[in-house]
A and B are shown apart, each in its own frame.
Chain A
Amino acid sequence: MIQVNRKDNSPRGNIALRMTNVSKRFGPVQALADVSFTVRAGTIHALVGENGAGKSTLMKVLSGVYKPDKGSIEINGRPYAFDKPEQALAAGISMIYQELDLAEDMTVTENVFLGSELPGKMPFVVDSKAMVKKTAELAKKLDFDLNPTAVVENLSTGDCQIVEVLKALMRNASIIVMDEPTSSLSESDAERLFKVVRELRGRGISIIYISHRLEEIVDLADDVTVLRDGMVVHSESVTKLDIPQIVRYMVGRELNEFFPGRNATIGDVCVRVENLSSAGNVNSVSFEIKSGEIVGMAGLVGAGRTEVAQAIFGIDKKSSGKIFLDGRELKINSPADAISSDIAFLTEDRKRTGLCLQLPCSWNITLPNLVEIGMKNIINPAKENKIAAEVAERVSIKWLGPNASVDSLSGGNQQKVLIARWLLANSRFMIFDEPTRGIDVGAKKEIYTLLNNLAEQGKAILFISSELPELFGIADRILIMHRGRLAGNLKTAETTQEEVMHLAAVEKN
């Protein structure tokens, strides 16, 4: 167990932001517990932590989206309490989210001045010339080459980031929060962004920089704060830390007895993926899964984990690669092909790609299985309900009956409807993408047990997850994705969370 550093050794200097003892609870989940977070003026402060550690919640408290249950916020020495994002904006806090919120079909200038246009000489008329001029000046000051009248739609993601920065500057931001700014940038665009960020620091602006890319942080940031399970576990100057240390602070928790004992017998190779590539950020990925084996897949957001599953399942077009099941090569061009080839795929976003929310539970369960259950030509609703109820029982769905619409169920039960769907399909090879996301602890445990049972039945399972502890708790082997490539393929028993995190987060030389 890593020692949690609780004594106050937070950075000294002029304080731009001081959040003290901020707590926030969502139902049973304590998202933030007594978080104190201090940012020095004119510094780049990295905020790191695993998914669900509380980074986004903390930033949403700062930007006035969430009201904290307790705690206080001081900006440049003055106390603030925000009810609305506009108030945070007025206090000099600008957020640049991962999904940029720019008006795509407007120009750079229009976006930069959106909501605070300069008035012209006549009422209801804005002074376009002055705004274009000001935008150009500002861009030039940042040593940044950008046409102020270009339409945002035609700009690269990197340029859009800069437009967001200009927007923040135009609003006189003193603190700019950047959430995973480089996750979708090319190397050269990222370099340019770093230059801009350093330039901002030079002008006395504080940057809160959220990123999973640790090498970036060590390179760029002055201070770093590590969050874990809604608490600050460490806060220090970056120069005193190295990447392995940061990783240890991030993951440092012990596996508990939460996970079922694994006793599936591992058989012959069942699934073989060879040199799989797709336009969706998958580059020459190869691996095998034996029958009875649970193979975990780790990686940062955007590393291409889901894309591997999508390429296998026929959602994304493969640009190369072969997929074998029990030695037989599969021809898969659509999910329909994949399902009839005996593959199941539980998608990560159950609302977008999983469920038909307003339709009955039974319909959702049988949707891919109608042919399988002998209803190719004619559906027998009574028999269908009976089959659905049986499989629902196996995962103990709490519902009003098979005819209840899915949107009448809780999140965990909705997820179980999807799991019931794929249990009914009884496929040889099952892919689970973040099956435990957004569900409570009890339901998580049920899902782990279920995965275990499926493995005991001799199925091959690919288990994609952003939570390392659950990968270590349930998987026999872990595949690590980094920027669309397979960066590691390790036996769980022979590796550590630190090693996996390192492979996932750090560019190989």
Chain B
Amino acid sequence: MNKFVRQLLPFGSLMLIICFLAAYQPDTFLTLDNFLNVFRRSSVNGIIALGMTYVIISGGIDLSVGSMLAFSGMTGALAMIAVGGEDPRGIALVIGTFVGIFTGLFCGFLNGALITKLKLPPFIVTLGTMSAFRGISYVMNDGQPYNVPSYKYLGDGIIPLWKTVEETVNNIDGTLQKEILQILPPWKSIDPEMISNGIKIVPHGIPISIVIFVVFVVIAGFLLRYTRLGRYTYAIGSNREAAFHAGVSVDRNLIYIYSLTGLFVGVAAMIATSRTVSAQPTAGISLELDIIAAVVIGGASLSGGRGTITGTIIGAMLISFLRNGCTLLGISTNVQLIVIGAIIIIAVAVDQLARSKAEAVQNSH
């Protein structure tokens, strides 16, 4: 009940934004393309936020996710080029993808190991690795990106659902107009003769990145709710000493948690790389703030022990739709920063207020 109410607020805000935009900008906002676009854009941040949810529930923080994203992408792309040359294709892309994901996993493991073995606060360790991973990303190719022009699948690929046969006609006034001639299921092919001047086939479907996001949502949600790792994450965040006294291997589980986050960042990094068909050493600068904001707006507590995957998804979507809405309404990105900052503070303040009210009610009994 309590949990439900807590998530109602961000969810309500999310709905409010969607309704507002739907009313003001129905033509541009209420389109399938726009929604798919928002989801696709939020998949990278969303996947990282899933990992961050674990870290924050455990009472920690990971400031290095943005740099880790750049580093993992650079390493993955470097591996592609090392295996497949200038324009890597096929197996080289697969190998590179796994190298990138593994790099993320390793970075997360490193964070976890430093935090537990050196007994340092997560804030300090990840502040350090944030700087170090970024530095390595710059050093790798002298500040230049690695281009992988054929690495499109994760970023632009789709699971085909239907395809349209379109013809572009020249209007009398010189403008071009698109005309849909036919809608076909993905497996139907059309007469090759039809593919002549102006007629083309456009596939439609769910972007791969969204599918990956959904898969990871399911994995993260399941692990958090139905496994000991998830349970121990809550216990460590709620009371680390008590968890230790109850036989929880705190250090080992913290390493798992940070490694899991690293793994998620690695996956997100390869999607981001594919989207721009290049690995940028500047990718993900100040990304950690957006991620932490999403998790916190979703109801997680920075002091640990509280948070859910559902909340995080709502938080991530809230930020994405806010950005999208601002863009559609012609609000500059600079002003967007102000709006998002205000939202973070309002969300947490309202949550705190609701909690202290609930506590007051409890104590009065």
Interface residues of A (CB under 8 A from B): 313, 315, 334-336, 338-340, 345, 347, 352-359, 363, 367-368, 370-371, 375-381, 405, 408, 421
Contacts and interface: CB of A to CB of B under 8 A. Distances in A.
B242 interface: yes
A377 B242 contact: no
Interface string B235-278: 10011011111111100000000000000000000000000000
Shortest Cβ-Cβ A-B pairs, 10 listed: A356-B238, A339-B247, A336-B247, A368-B246, A368-B247, A367-B246, A356-B239, A353-B245, A335-B247, A353-B241
B127 to A, nearest CB: 23
Interface residues of B, number: 23
Contacts of B357: none
Given A358-B306, A378-B226, A408-B362, A345 B249 contact: no
10 contacts: A313-B245, A336-B249, A345-B245, A352-B241, A356-B242, A359-B235, A367-B247, A379-B227, A381-B225, A421-B246
A226 B76 CA distance: 76
Given A377-B227, A408-B362, A356 B234 contact: yes
Interface string B289-325: 0000000000000000110000000000000000000
B227 A352 contact: no
Contact of A363 (B231, B247, B306, B362): B231
Interface of B: 2, 225-228, 230-231, 234-235, 238-239, 241-249, 305-306, 362
Nearest to A379: B226
B242 A334 contact: no
Most buried by B among A339, A354, A367, A380: A367
A357 B238 CA distance: 7
Given A352-B242, A356-B239, A379 B247 contact: no
Contact of B248 (A352, A367, A405): A367
Contact of A357 (B239, B244, B248, B362): B239
Q: Which of A340, A356, A375 has the largest count of B CB atoms less than 10 A from its CB?
A: A356
A48 B51 CA distance: 56
Contacts of B241: 352-353
Nearest to A405: B2
A335 B231 contact: no
B282 to A, nearest CB: 40
A368 to B, nearest CB: 4
A379 B243 contact: no
Nearest to A422: B246
Contacts of B246: 335, 339, 367-368, 421
A311 B238 CA distance: 25
A356 B305 contact: yes
Contacts of A340: 247
Nearest to A406: B238
Nearest to B245: A353
Given A353-B242, A355-B239, A338 B227 contact: no
A370 B228 contact: yes
B217 to A, nearest CB: 18
Contacts of A380: 226
B243 A367 contact: yes
A421 to B, nearest CB: 7
A361 to B, nearest CB: 13
Contacts of B247: 334-336, 338-340, 367-368
Contacts of A354: 242, 245
Contact of A378 (B2, B227, B306): B227
Contacts of B242: 352-356
A334 to B, nearest CB: 7
